[in-house]
A and B are shown apart, each in its own frame.
Chain A
Amino acid sequence: MIEQKVVTPEQLFFEAEREEQFITGSEAIREAIKSANVDMAISYPITPQSESMHLVGDIFAEGYIKEYFRGENEFAVMSSVAGAAMAGVRVFTATGGPGTLRAFEMFPTWSGSRLPIVCAFMTRGINSPLTIQPDTLEMAYMLDTGMLMLHAENGQDLYDMVLKAFVIAEKPDVHVPVGVFADGFFVTHTRDKVNIAPADMKLPSYNPNCAPVPAMDMETVPFRQMRDPFVMKSNFISYAAHASWQQEILAAAERARKYIDSLLGGLIEVENEDADILIIASGTAVSQSREAIQQAKSEGLSVGLVKIKSLRPFPTEQIRRLAAKAKAVIIPEFNRVGWLCREVKTAVDDTTKVVGAPRVFGGMTMPPQLIVDEIRRCANE
């Protein structure tokens, strides 16, 4: 193993001197995992994720990770990752698009088993017709799995979110899996300036003795207890046990808010919040919105921006408060169904001011001009 100095999360995130590198999103994953003190990583190829797990394999070979292998499909990989997490080690994997759906049964199972797995999702379109192009549709399906969901705008976000996700996931009062989402190709395959902490520093190792459920290692009393909520009897107590377990998963996600605040600087970032027109976006739609806001400014239109970093837990109260002051709320998205628009509509008091546009999908890019058109339309109403 490579010699690295164990530092506190605060030292690694906020105090260590960072070096600027011009790297792709996949390389940002590699850099984050170098400092994450991951015990095991399990990979399976799918475009546009593959490169990130190649690079994780490379740093396994260099001695940054203790164990790494390629599984046989995404469902099996997510199962093996679950087995490893139940044995009490820190694990990492990544997938995207059809891989996410292939593995889907495991995500609520991770949450229900209170496994602090960190998984990166490099989003892509879903068949049919066959596509490998960027699209965030899969995130719609992931919203109710019990996992925490962070959405990266760029390589810097991806680096920071992956690294910080381990710390958030492993807090004893949270201890649920975290998905870090990045828009495939737009983030994974493009180069950007990313500030990186020194690779000779790493997080403290995972402590399975601080988990709300015991590791499956026969080192704690094993009698008549199971890791999973095993409730198959047909009586009210059984139903109530399962119901309260589900509520506890939601409560764990709620308890994550304070850690997202302290480590990521909040669930949202806001610019010019007093503007009449607000854009609410996540992922690379935020970057496109920034461009659009600059163009609108040159036309004399003042537009605010709300970047959502955490989708689960969702910044419901903040969105309600911000939207109440605005005349119109524009939600640009890289998918057909408009899942972020639905989320925002459940949070705001007046849904008529929410504009679910523009939406691009099937691999299309989002020209800022489309967003400017919506801004003009709202300004003229």
Chain B
Amino acid sequence: MNKSIFKITPCFEDIMPDEYKELVESDPFGKGLGVSQLGTYKELLEEHPLCAGCGLALSLRLILASLPNPEDTVIVGSTGCSALAFPQVALHNIHSVFGNQNAVASGLKRALKLRFPDKVKDVVVIAGDGATADIGLDMVMQSWFRCENITTIMLDNEAYANTGGQESGMSPQGTVLNMAPKGKKFPKISMPEIARESGCAYVAAISPAQPKRLEKMVRRAILTAREVGPSYVQIFSPCPTNYKFKPQEMVARIKQREKEGFFKSKEYITTEAQEYLAGLEEGKKDE
């Protein structure tokens, strides 16, 4: 993206919305900013309509701040809570239908490669656990089998939250939720392991309780997808509204679940991706 395209035409300043003017004045495009600089520039997520204490909102802020190439990144979302925040994101983003996000992203990425052979256009899927592990699982896995150059990020709030709190494949076993009136009968789906075995070159599981580590993983995932192969990041962030805890307890709840052994930060990297990332990270140190 050429930054001159969003400059305001002189004499139209007074009719442009404030958040647009702020973005023109202190945008994050092409500046290599990250999570550490949050608060010093205009963020890509302008407000959001998600519930108080929603870890998805925090995760989304962190993901957007972690993008290595926001000026040339297209997001593919899916139906769910996160879809409510996407109209507020200052990146091209697509909502097609529920569950087809990785199929849309496959076509999008291949087409962008055709149109911009000399430019890096990152395609990042950001979708909920229902979209990724349940209704869209076949298309998620098939995009990995096909070695599509896309990054898939799951916002795992452990439920269908937007539809009123139903059990998802990512809910913990035994949880009583709508549509699981006697408690969930099977364990949380092992998505990182499925991703690793399905052809992802880089796989990580993390939570917004560790922002710097989350940033590193999102960057690694997107860089890997450019050159090596598909990548997957799972972001753990249980839903305060449907699991009925106080909004301010979100981070504490994640840490408690980690302590109890229900959640573990993970990173699986293929040798090829490891070498590629080491080369990039080494190069960065030299600069």
| A109 close to B87 (CB less than 8 A) | no
Contact B97 A83 (CB under 8 A): no
CB-contact partner of A76 in B91, B110, B121, B139, under 8 A: B139
Contact B87 A218 (CB under 8 A): no
Contact B111 A84 (CB under 8 A): yes
From A42, A72, A86, A227, B142 is in contact (CB under 8 Å) with A72
- A80-B103, A85-B111 known; 9 new pairs, CB 8 Å cut-off, are A69-B110, A71-B103, A76-B139, A83-B106, A83-B111, A106-B96, A109-B96, A220-B5, A230-B83
Q: Once the chains are docked, how many angstroms separate the CA of A69 from the CA of B113?
A: 15
Question: Is B219 in the interface zone, CB < 8 Å from A?
Answer: no
- Taking CB atoms, residues of chain A closer than 8 Å to B92 are 214, 216-218, 220, 222, 227
- Interface-located stretch among B50-58, B70-78, B277-285: B70-78
Residue of A nearest to B101 (CB): A79
Q: Is the CB of A67 within 8 A of B110?
A: yes
A166 vs B142: C-alpha distance in the bound complex, in angstroms? Answer: 29
Task: Please classify the interface of chain B as helix (H, G, I), strand (E, B), loop, or mixed, using the class held by over half of its residues.
Answer: helix
Interface residues of A in 197-217 (CB under 8 A from B): 214, 216-217
Say yes or no: A75-B100 contact (C-beta < 8 A), given A224-B87, A224-B88: yes
Interface positions, chain A 239-271, Cβ under 8 Å from B, are none
Question: Which residue of A80, A222, A224, A226 contacts B106 across the interface (Cβ within 8 Å)?
Answer: A80
Residue B134 CB within 8 A of the other chain: no
Among A76, A88, A91, A109, residue most surrounded by chain B Cβ atoms (within 10 Å): A76
The answer to the question of B115 belonging to the interface, with a C-beta cut-off of 8 Å to chain A, is yes
CB under 8 Å from chain B, chain A span 84-99 = 84-89, 91
- Kindly state whether residue B6 has any CB partner on chain A within 8 Å: yes
Do B104 and A221 touch (CB < 8 A)?
Answer: no
Which residues of chain B are within 8 angstroms of A219 by Cβ–Cβ distance?
Answer: 1-2, 5
Chain A 31-52 interface residues, beta-carbon cutoff 8 Å to B = 39-40, 42
> How far, in Å, is A111 (CB) from chain B's closest CB?
13
Is the beta-carbon distance between B90 and A223 smaller than 8 angstroms?
A: yes
Contact yes or no, A67 B114, CB < 8 A = yes
Interface contact A217-B115, CB-CB below 8 Å: yes
Q: Which of B105-134 contact A (CB under 8 A)?
A: 105-116, 121
- Residues on B with C-beta less than 8 A from A221 are 5-6
Could you say which residues of chain A place their CB within 8 Å of the CB of B93? Answer: 216, 226
Residues of B within 8 A of A223 (CB): 6, 19-20, 23, 90
Residues on A lying within 8 angstroms of B by beta carbon are: 39-40, 42, 66-67, 69, 71-73, 75-77, 79-89, 91, 105-106, 109, 113, 214, 216-224, 226-228, 230, 232
A84-B110, A218-B71, A219-B1 in contact; A79/B139 too (CB < 8 A)?
A: yes
B251 contacts chain A at the CB level, 8 A cutoff: no
CA distance A77 to B142 in the complex (A): 11
Least CB separation from B112: chain A residue: A87
In the complex, B246 has a CB within 8 A of chain A: no
Docked pose: A105 CA to B104 CA in angstroms:
13
Of chain A, the residue at the smallest CB distance from B93 is: A226
Nearest to A76 among chain B residues (CB) is B103
- With a cutoff of 8 Å between Cβ atoms, the chain B residues found around residue A214 in the complex are 92
Residues of B within 8 A of A87 (CB): 74, 107-109, 111-112, 115
Contact string against A for B residues 57-70, beta-carbon threshold 8 Å, 1 for contact and 0 otherwise: 00000000000000
Least CB separation from A80: chain B residue: B107
B133 to chain A, nearest CB (A): 16
Contacts of A232 in B (CB 8 A): 83-84
CA distance A73 to B138 in the complex (A): 9
Distance in angstroms between the alpha carbons of A81 and B142 in the assembled complex = 15
The residue on A at minimum CB distance from B74 is A216
With A and B bound together, what is the CA distance between A40 and B113 in angstroms?
Answer: 11
Q: A83's contact among B105, B114, B116, B142, by CB below 8 Å, is which?
A: B105
Closest to A226 in B: B87
Does B146 have its Cβ within 8 Å of any Cβ on chain A?
A: yes
Nearest chain A residue, comparing its CB with the CB of B105: A83
Q: Which residues of B contact A73 (CB under 8 A)?
A: 138
Q: Is there a chain A Cβ closer than 8 Å to B86's Cβ?
A: yes
Complex: how many Å from CA A105 to CA B146? 24
For residue B95, CB closer than 8 A to chain A, the reply is: yes
A-B contact pairs, 7 of them (CB 8 A): A67-B111, A69-B146, A79-B139, A80-B106, A83-B109, A88-B111, A218-B1
Residues of B within 8 A of A39 (CB): 111, 114
Q: Which residue of the partner chain, among A42, A75, A84, A224, contacts B90 with CB atoms under 8 Å?
A: A224
Minimum CB–CB distance from B141 to chain A (whole Å) comes to: 9
Say yes or no: A218-B74 contact (C-beta < 8 A), given A109-B96, A223-B23, A224-B88: yes
B100 contacts across to A, CB distance below 8 A: 75-76, 79, 106
State whether B104 touches A80 (Cβ < 8 A): yes
Most buried by A among B5, B94, B104, B113: B104
How many whole Å from A215's CB to the nearest CB in chain B? 8
Q: How far is the CA of A81 from the CA of B96 in the complex (A)?
A: 12
Asked if residues B121 and A218 are in contact (CB atoms below 8 Å), the reply is yes
> 7 closest A-B pairs (Cβ-Cβ)?
A83-B107, A87-B111, A80-B107, A83-B108, A79-B103, A84-B107, A79-B100
CB < 8 Å neighbour of B114 from A40, A71, A226: A40
Identify the closest chain A residue to B72 (Cβ): A218
Q: Is the CB of B103 within 8 A of A216?
A: no
Across the interface, do B95 and A230 meet the contact criterion of CB distance under 8 Å? yes
Q: Is the CB of A83 within 8 A of B5?
A: no
Partner of A216, one of B19, B83, B94, B97: B94
Q: How far is the CA of A216 from the CA of B90 in the complex (A)?
A: 12
Q: Which A residues touch B146, using CB under 8 A?
A: 69
Alpha-carbon gap, A83 to B150, bound state (A): 13
Min distance, Cβ B182 to any Cβ of chain A, angstroms = 31
Find chain A residues with CB under 8 A from B5 CB. Answer: 219-221
Report yes or no: B90 in contact with A222, Cβ–Cβ below 8 A: yes
Complex: how many Å from CA A66 to CA B224? 24
Report A22 CB to chain B, min CB distance, Å. 35
Kindly provide the distance from the CB of A113 to the nearest chain B CB, expressed in whole angstroms: 8
A216 touches B108 (CB 8 A): yes
